[in-house]
Chains A and B, each alone.
Chain A
Amino acid sequence: MIGRETWDVLIALALTTVAMLYYGRIYLPKKIDDRTRESLKAFSTAVELRFPVREGLSNRVVALSRELGKREGLAGKQLKDLEMAGRLRDIGLCAIPYRLVNDKPMVEWTDGDYAIYERHPEVGAAMLELVPSLSHLAGIVRTHHVNFDGSSGPFFPSKDSLPIEARLLKIVSDYVWFERTQGALLARENLRDGAGVAYDPEYVYTFLSMLTSSRVTNSAAPVTA
């Protein structure tokens, strides 16, 4: 009933389907991932070229937040979002005046200067909202400098509405900045002091224990300025 010709066609169809299955399930998702990473890297490079003090911070933030996310049980899309937000968190800095960051030492900053600087999460989030494939990260970027206990800024949402990615990112990006400016020892000290106030205590302790395990320091070595 089923002739030879039919079998030939059916087998060819099955083989092509399998090939396409590989293409759509493994090859293309990986390619999309790679492409996303590359273009996000262009964004963080732009910010780091504008403000050379921040050179290399993004790579370190991405590596550490990925590790921390894994330890806190994040996986799949959530982990990827955390990583992407780590790259994109500071793109709002491109709207911060060049001379404020590059020419004026931070100790001389006035309240007004700080107010300008602290707009960068909002600016970054507003930019992301205009890009359909990244707009889901706007919420994380907007709140990545918000204190855990609600003691910061007027735009603070309630504690429960703070996304877990934003809480993790706050810890990692603050740590990396302290590490650059004050050294690793003082940076850890700052995190310990801020636990429960600026940072979610649970995640701070995971992060601190992660930092002292040798595996992490090897995989994401600090970049010194």
Chain B
Amino acid sequence: MKSLDLALRKTLIVYGICGTLLAFGVELWTPYRMISVLGWLMIPALALATEFLPVRISRNGLRITFSLPFVAGMAVATGATGALLVDLLVTLAAALYLRSKQEKGVKSYWILLNLSVCLISASLAGFVFHFATNSGSGHTTLGALAFTITYAVANFLLVCNADATMSLGRFKERVHSTAAIAAQGMLLYCLAAVAVAILVSKELYLFLPLMLLPLVVLRRVLKLKALLFEQYYESVTALTLMLQRAHPYTHGHLERVSRISEEVALRLGLSGPRARLVREASVLHDIGKIAVDEAILDKPARLTDEEFTHVKRHSVLGAQILAPVEALREVVPWIRHHHERPDGTGYPDGLSDVEIPIESKIIAVVDAFDAMTGGDAPSDRRPYREPMTVDQALQELDRCSGTQFDARVVQAFRYVLGSGVV
């Protein structure tokens, strides 16, 4: 927890200083234009209204708000300084309101972080807007578009970075998962911003509230997309819960080792999303053991042939359990074949080296390593089989590489384990 606090404080300080400097820059460089009172009332009011309609897109409290089109409108109307001011005030108001409503959860450092993120992205967008409109002889459409895109990209990257720091995840992973939710809305968002900018530049302030309509629609779409992702991860969790109930052992070790499997997949040149899927597959690979007699799995002695045949069913059964889940469709064959061997003596199908999916080979190595170094399953702690040290386990993997394990995968596994990435 200590290191988390430190990392967070560092992020906060860096963000704060950058934000303040940039904001002063905007203040000095960009001009301010006067507009009518109606405009000054209408635009901030609408920005405030949208700020109170956030969508929470992940369980750790990451939220998206939709004030950007109106902030961009403010930039068109008064220049970058006005936009910066409105954005800052609106964000502060919403954050304070949220804090007063829910007693716990919203801490002051979170508000400060939000404000500095706002400062940086609004100032950057302000600069871009300034140059875009001056060189393009006051082209409002182009200016608003430039403002919106700069702001959105800057905000997105800053928030992902802060989020990755806070939850100790990886930056790239955050960018991927958040972009997958938000990307489709960007077109509508940009169009709304341009429409607001045009209405503002023609001083048609009374038509502005109409622009709330697309934003409300967009909000619902993002909410459902976030739900879709959440559901996917929750069903994976629920399946592992079932396995734990059938065979009471903690999944902690497997969880840790599955992170290694993701790194191994990346090392072997698989794409990011696919490596992520390998990670989930290696958490789920033994799901078929739900349908295996736990008395045999926990038996403190060597298995008879008959018992071994019974246990061997688990890879086929696992594939059968996951078969109806569309989101895991690719994973099903990997799980079916995770006990195949390159020398062709594996089960269930006795595939040859080239027929076995690389993902299955990764899972096989990770699974074996987990078992040898004393995974938490009782079956891994049989009296006749003491847990090995990491070095011993690696030697064993080397000894079996080429026959039981794929040589390349074992090499990549060694590399990842030695590099200390995980």
Instruction: Render A23-57 as a binary contact track against B, CB cut-off 8 A, 1 for contact.
Output: 11100110110111011011101110110000000
Most buried by A among B185, B194, B230, B323: B194
B214 at the binding interface (Cβ < 8 Å)? yes
Contacts known (A17-B213, A35-B232, A41-B324); A131 close to B224, Cβ less than 8 A: no
Shortest distance from the beta carbon of A28 to any chain B beta carbon, whole Å = 4
A12 on interface, CB distance cutoff 8 Å: yes
Contact check: which of B192, B234, B320 meets A133 at CB < 8 Å? B234
B7 on the interface (CB 8 Å rule)? no
Given A17-B214, A46-B290, A91-B242, the answer on whether A131 and B195 have CB atoms closer than 8 Å is no
Identify B198's interface contact among A6, A24, A31, A97, CB under 8 A.
A6
Cα distance A24–B321 in the bound complex, in angstroms: 30
Of A1, A17, A98, the contact of B202 (CB 8 Å cutoff): A1
**Nearest chain A residue, comparing its CB with the CB of B243:** A94
B187 to chain A, nearest CB (A): 6
Q: Which of these binds chain A: B18-26, B71-79, B215-223? A: B215-223
User: Please, how many angstroms separate the alpha-carbon atoms of A21 and B188 in the complex?
Assistant: 11
Using C-beta atoms within 8 Å of the partner chain, give the interface range for chain B: 35 or more
Contacting pair A95 B246 (CB below 8 A): yes
A28 touches B294 (CB 8 A): no
Complex interface bits, B329-366 against A, C-beta within 8 A gives 1, otherwise 0: 00000000000000000000000000000000000000
Given A20-B214, A46-B239: A134 and B202 interface contact (C-beta under 8 Å): no
Q: Are A32 and B231 in contact (CB under 8 A)?
A: yes
B242 CB contact (under 8 Å) in A6, A41, A94, A133:
A94
Number of interface residues of A (CB under 8 A): 47
Instruction: Answer yes or no: A68 CB below 8 A from chain B CBs.
Output: no
Q: Chain A contacts of B287 at CB under 8 A? A: 46
Q: Give Cα A28–Cα B220 distance, bound, in whole angstroms.
A: 10
On whether the beta carbons of B322 and A42 are closer than 8 Å, the reply is yes
Known contacts A5-B198, A35-B231; is-contact A13 B141 (Cβ 8 Å): no
Q: In the bound complex, how far is the Cα of B246 from the Cα of A95, in angstroms? A: 5
Which residue of the partner chain B has the closest CB to A40?
B235
Asked if residues B227 and A34 are in contact (CB atoms below 8 Å), the reply is no
In-complex Cβ contact of A134 among B204, B217, B225, B234 (8 A): B234
**A20 with B221: CB separation less than 8 A:** yes
Contact B188 A17 (CB under 8 A): yes
B198 touches A98 (CB 8 A): no
The yes or no answer to A73 lying at the interface (CB within 8 A) is no
Contact B234 A49 (CB under 8 A): no
* A20 to B, closest residue via Cβ: B217
> For residue B198, which residues in chain A have a CB less than 8 angstroms away from its CB?
5-6, 9
CB contacts under 8 Å to A, within B273-304, are: 287-288, 290-295
The contact sample of 16 A-B pairs, CB cut-off 8 A, is A13-B195, A17-B188, A20-B188, A28-B228, A35-B327, A39-B327, A42-B239, A42-B324, A43-B238, A45-B323, A49-B321, A95-B245, A97-B295, A98-B294, A131-B238, A133-B231
- List the interface of chain A (C-beta within 8 A of B): 1-2, 5-6, 9-10, 12-13, 16-17, 20-21, 23-25, 28-29, 31-32, 34-36, 38-39, 41-43, 45-47, 49-50, 91-92, 94-95, 97-99, 102, 123, 127, 130-134
Instruction: List 5 additional contacts besides A39-B327, A134-B238; criterion CB under 8 Å.
Output: A20-B185, A21-B217, A42-B324, A94-B246, A99-B293
In the A-B complex, list the 4 residue pairs whose CB atoms are closest, starting with the nearest.
A39-B235, A49-B291, A24-B221, A95-B245
